[in-house]
Amino acid sequence: MAAAVTRRANALRIDTPDGYAVADVESGRGASAAADSPPAKRTKDDVWVAADEGEMPGNVSGDGARPLLFRTMKVKASILHPYRFLILVRLIAVVAFFGWRVKHTNHDGVWLWTTSMVADTWFALSWILNQLPKLNPIKRVPDMAALAHLYGSSGDANLPGIDVFVTTVDPVDEPILYTVNTILSILATDYPVDRYACYLSDDGGTLVHYEAMVEVASFAELWVPFCRKHCVEPRSPENYFGMKTQPCVGGNAGEFMRDHRRVRREYEEFKVRIDSLSSTIRKRSDAYNKGDGLRATWMADGTQWPGTWIEQADNHRRGQHAGIVQVILTHPSCKTQLGSPASTRNPFDFSNVDTRLPMLVYISREKRPGYNHQKKAGAMNAMLRVSALLSNAPFIINFDCDHYINNSQAFRVPMCFMLDPRDGQNTAFVQFPQRFDDVDPTDRYANHNRVFFDGTMLCLNGIQGPSYLGTGTMFRRVALYGMEPPRYRAENIKLLGMAGNKFGNSIPLVNSMPDAAVQERSITPVLVDEQLSNDLATLMTCAYDERSSWGRDVGWVYDIATEDVATGFRMHRQGWRSTYCSMEPAAFRGTAPINLTERLYQLLRWSGGSLEMFFSHSNALLAGRRMHPLQRVAYLNMSTYPIVTVFILAYNLFPVLWLFSDQLYIQRPFGTYIMYLVAVIAMVHVIGMFEVKWAGITVLDWFRNEQFYMIAATGVYPTAVLYLALKLVTGKGIYFRLTSKQTEACSNDKFADLYTVRWVPLLIPTVAVLVVNVAAVGAAIGKAATWGFFTEQAQHVVLGMMFNMCILVLLYPFALGIMGQWGKRPVILFVILVMATGAVGVLYFTLHAQYPAEVAAFVGEASLTGSSG
């Protein structure tokens, strides 16, 4: 591993006319040389410094037995102290603001003043909940040289075993091409091949997924050795061949280019076979069913696919199929198996390349009518149980089917945190940020979400650690089993003592658990005989979870849309820690919806699930003393943040009242009120600039986050609150649709889905806010023209118009989104807004200019009221 790292680090890229990037590599440096060499000269970091000089590279633990595997970094005092001071100043300003408002109660509109006070109080509380966990941002940096020294090329056989979980359900909404590339990247990752196994859970039970995995196993025999031979990055073929240049990290550029052309040709043929699987299966099944009146689906070997119909979508809705476990690639031997040299029949020279492939297993749990199958959480728990009997690795990594391994070192990096001698055994999971491909260059809908991943999650490192985010996460298996962390676990208490019926009625499953607690354990090959097949079938039955702790105290949590956050919360409540880790190149990358409607549905599912947490046993207020107080605050904020948006929506719709009343004020004196608002809001943005600095994001990332928060706050989040209210009243759960990754737009345009409008009721509230604020700007211009631009009332109107203009700027991406193809030309939107505001302004001036006496009387009355206030 260290040698491979050295080769990549010393590569010199040379772009050729063919689009290849060739490199000469420094040779003769092995694992020991890399580990013993002095650290490379580092550029001066103007943000982060070492938290403890005792954690510098090369140092060992207190007992001197093992090296430290990661370093802890903190924000420089010159940045952190002003950041904290500004938070304190804003807190004082907010208190002063409330004191001023109480002192100047608006008796002319008590109902409006009281409502706004309640809203502002909730705003303040929400800001405090959001800000407190950010007081101590911490970055943990893995020390790969130390890991190479501890588990170098000669010690890879001692690395712990890993089970890799991938979940999918619908081959339409989650295209199969994404899934096969994810699996191929896993099979080709840089980790001892006999130390990990890959599991695909197909919750739809579709034959097309199984046969796609058979094709993957065949193509992997070529793709994996090619990646190992030439140190290919990334190891997802679709993404690798999609790069403008493919760097060659090796000594023979000519051989690389020949191999590259052949593998690319083989991959194109592989894609054709994948794309034609559905039609192939249908034709085959039609041939077998002809004349028999059957509607069965048939495999290539002439056997019937268990319990499914040809109409896969109908079958998925009915939820009827037997449990299926198919070991597609068996566990490899522990000895290296070199490939064959180039020949007439085989043009690839793999004579110095290990050609073994890791274990690959296809799983589809049983589905029957009348059962609540618990969506993804149920599939993950079934996979957790099945893997315990087949491989039982002490560590688990889970992926969504559209996330692939972007950095081949991704499995080794989290081991730096799991195996660290200081507190590694108390680490339940390591969370990586989610990075995305194919997002539009301006990131119109904030899909990258860098403020959350690189800001909020980084801050939680300074407490108990980040929350679990559903994908790109390495777990300790015993933490998923509901075990307490070692620091709270008595030495004489063993896992079996906790069994009873907690884990269900499978004795083999319970017997496998003590081995899972040994973190140095590898994967033990097993023979799938009739007895084991029966045991696996039992673990996948629909009723296995009944009368057990699965879904509450064991495995992934049930009955909630955000099973990921709730599962991480349970671990933190038990006293476990977690770690946030970011690496370059990014460990994993995936796809994100760039269509406005799909993006909003995604946020609806997340926010609805967050609210469900607050009204469940996963409420942060109910956590025990083992949870850090600020960690509790962070989870409380995660489970209540949509509520505040009800008041944001009300504020954004308030300007509609200005269209019908010229004497309606939230607070008097209105000018002073606006100045207070400007001050406290400006301080929030200044604080945000500090977070931009230490999070390493751009101002555009921050601004896109602000924009899309306002878009969600005017439609999605209030809808989630409404859904939850209906659930509390009716007792019925909330159905959240699967986010589609399949575009319906023209495939020739990479970002065509960005300009496709899918009208749904979810868009209506934000459209209403947009219309109201456009009208309010026009009315403000009309009022100023009617009263005179230099009167006191006109100045108040201009101050109010600033609020409306800010809302329109924040809703700009939404306005472009609902314009569809016209959104490609933003100037059209600008012209429409100018014409709309101008029309409203002219209409207002025309209607009120007919009554100059009434207007003069109002101006006089308003002046007296303002002076008395």
Cβ(713)–Cβ(601) below 8 Å: no
Is 420 part of the annotated catalytic residue set? no
In order of 205, 320, 369, 372, 582, the CA distances from 542 in angstroms are 14, 11, 10, 8, 38
Structure token pair of residue 575:
């006293």
| From 203, 349, 402, 420, active-site residue | 203
Contact predicate 20/246, CB 8 Å: yes
Strand 246-247: give its sheet, edge to edge: 14-15, 20-22, 246-247
Considering the candidates 202, 259, 420, 564, report the single residue annotated as catalytic: 564
Per-residue tokens: 612 = 């469900």
The three-state (H, E, C) secondary structure of 566-626, written as one string? HHHHHHHHHCCEEEECCCCCCCEEEECCCCHHHHHHHHHHHHHHHHHHHCCCCCHHHCCCC
The residue behind tokens 């909940």 is 129
Q: DSSP per residue over 221-278, as a string? A: HHHHHHHHHHT-SS--HHHHHTSS-EE--SS-HHHHHHHHHHHHHHHHHHHHHHHTHH
Q: Which residues contact 376 (CB under 8 A, 6 or more apart)?
A: 167, 169, 203, 556, 563
Beta strands in 93-231 (DSSP E): 138-142, 162-168, 196-202
Question: Smallest Cα–Cα separation from 415: which of 109, 156, 697?
Answer: 156
52 is catalytic: no
Buried b (16+ CB within 10 A) or exposed e, 518-546: ebebbbeeeeeeeeeeebbebbbbbebbe
Contacts of 379 (CB under 8 A, 6+ apart): 167, 169, 201, 203, 365, 373
Q: Is 302 exposed, middle or buried (0-12, 13-18, 19+ CB in 10 A)?
A: exposed
Task: Pull the structure tokens for residue 257.
Answer: 């280019």
Report DSSP state, residue 342.
P
Cα–Cα distances (Å) from 642 to 125, 603, 605, 715, 724, in that order, read 13, 11, 12, 11, 11
Quote the CA–CA distance of 515 and 496 in Å, as a whole number: 11
Interatomic CA distance for residues 684 and 93, integer angstroms: 11
Residue 192 CA to its chain's centroid (Å): 27
* Assigned token pair, 162: 């890993």
Q: What type of residue sits at position 164?
A: V
| DSSP letters spanning 483-546 | PPPGGGS-TT--GGGG-TTTT-S-HHHHHHHHHHT-TT---------HHHHHHHHHHTSTTTTT
| 838 and 775 Cβ atoms separated by less than 8 Å | no
Tokens standing for 680? Answer: 């406290």
d(CA 695, CA 638): 20
DSSP states of 729-763 as a string?
HH-PPPP-PPPP----S-TTSTTGGGG-----GGG
Place of tokens 């500090």: 690
Nearest to 810, CA basis, from 717, 705, 660, 672: 705
State how far the Cα of 666 lies from the Cα of 118, in Å rounded to an integer: 12
Q: What's the rounded Cα separation, in Å, for the pair 167 and 387?
A: 14
Q: Which residues are catalytic?
A: 203, 564
